[in-house]
Structure 1
Amino acid sequence: MNASSSPMESTSVWRSSKWQTIVFLMLAFWLSSSLLLDLVIMPQLYTAGMMSQPSFATAGYSIFWVFNRVELTCAAVILTSVLVLNRIESAVFTKAWAIALAFGLLLIGLVYTYLLTPEMSALGLHLDLFSANQELPAGMQQMQQGYWLLELIKLSSIIALLNALQPRVIRSLSH
């Protein structure tokens, strides 16, 4: 600590660095887990033929039930971190766009958890065991398009926040 910096400034820098690291790790975790689910797990289930099985709606709901809660936790921690950083420093995260993106991520998680996943699971549930008709229910295509649109917005928001934060975290870790 040099003569011009006070203990209060040092504590503030340390708290800021801690919150930057938390939000960076949470964003990286959420991005990687989303890509794993979207690009590895779901295509694997599709190629294995599981999506054509009558029990897929139940299995899909179980997978997404857990993942949606993880997404809500990530979004809550990210929004909290961005708001704390907004309060304790005057840098990237005092920008309104960072707060808007963090809040948007929380909204997307809420839409997935309480609207899309239950509706898509209900549409995919086959209640008539004697029906040979296993077509995609009406409305499912539209919901899948909505899911992928929200997924693109979510991934773009996470990447934008990571790009804004990355140089600051690397700088703080190198000190």
Structure 2
Amino acid sequence: MNAVFATGSKQPSWQTIAMFALGFWLSGSLIVDFVLMPSLYGAGMMSQAGFATAGYSIFWIFNRIELLCAALVLVSLLALRGTSNLYSHVRRWAIFLSALLLAIAIIYTYIMTPQMTALAVQLNLLEPVNEIPAGMIPMQGGYWLLEVIKLVASGTVLGWCYRDSRRLA
């Protein structure tokens, strides 16, 4: 225990924190998008009466983790603003992209997830669920568009941070 909290030990840098948060967030997004949701869809989740509640429960937790990671990345890059070896235009783009990532996480958490759940919730329990609600298709398209932007932006910022950390080493 002393080895972890020793006064002479080197504390993690903001760059390491940003890379860890981006890597964790990116891997979590890939697992949710390409493993969890397709397997639930393939298992017939959309035809079950409680799919909206289950989806909301999953995304409620994941959206809060996304907000935490996005905020941590933005704070880390802002803290690195004066000390990083990144070129000034790359540094500005990294901060812009991290602010965009935070905006996407806010859109997911407070706009898209509640709206998609409201569209999909079954209010009449006596009628079976036959199909996806009509308003859900454009929202899913918007979700996938934001998801592609998020994956490209986070991958770009992660690559810049990694290259910058390699230059420092």
TM-score, normalised relative to structure 1: 0.84
Aligned match of 1:116: 112
CA distance in 2, matches of 1:90, 1:164: 10
Aligned match of 1:53: 48
1:74 pairs with 69, 72, 81, which one?
Answer: 69
Does the CA-based 8 Å contact 2:48-2:129 persist in structure 1? no
Does the CA-based 8 Å contact 1:92-1:165 persist in structure 2? no
Q: How well do the aligned residues superpose, as a CA RMSD in angstroms?
A: 1.8
Q: CA deviation at 1:151?
A: 0.2
TM-score, normalised relative to structure 2: 0.87
Q: For the structure 1 residues 144 and 111, does the alpha-carbon distance in structure 2 shift closer, same or farther, using more than 3 Å as the test? A: same
- Deviating beyond 4 angstroms after TM superposition, the runs of 4 or more aligned structure 1 residues are none
What are the within-5 Å matches in structure 2 for residues 138-153 of structure 1?
138-153=134-149
CA distance in 2, matches of 1:63, 1:83: 30
Report the AA paired with residue 19 of structure 1. Answer: W
Q: CA deviation at 1:92?
A: 4.4
Q: From the two aligned structures, give the one with the greater helix fraction.
A: 1
Alignment of 1:91 with 2:86, yes or no, is: yes
- Range 30-39 or range 94-103, more displaced: 94-103
Structure with larger Rg? 1
1:37 pairs with 29, 32, 39, which one?
Answer: 32
- Range 87-96 or range 123-132, more displaced: 87-96
Q: Deviations over 1:77-119 (max 9, x none)?
A: 0000010111333524762211110000000000000000000
Q: For the structure 1 residues 118 and 169, does the alpha-carbon distance in structure 2 shift closer, same or farther, using more than 3 Å as the test? A: same
CA distance in 1, matches of 2:87, 2:19: 13
- Range 122-131 or range 29-38, more displaced: 122-131
In structure 1, runs of 5+ residues without a counterpart are: 1-13
CA distance in 1, matches of 2:85, 2:34: 37
Q: CA deviation at 1:128?
A: 1.0
Alignment of 1:128 with 2:131, yes or no, is: no
In structure 2, runs of 5+ residues without a counterpart are: 1-9
Alignment of 1:164 with 2:160, yes or no, is: yes
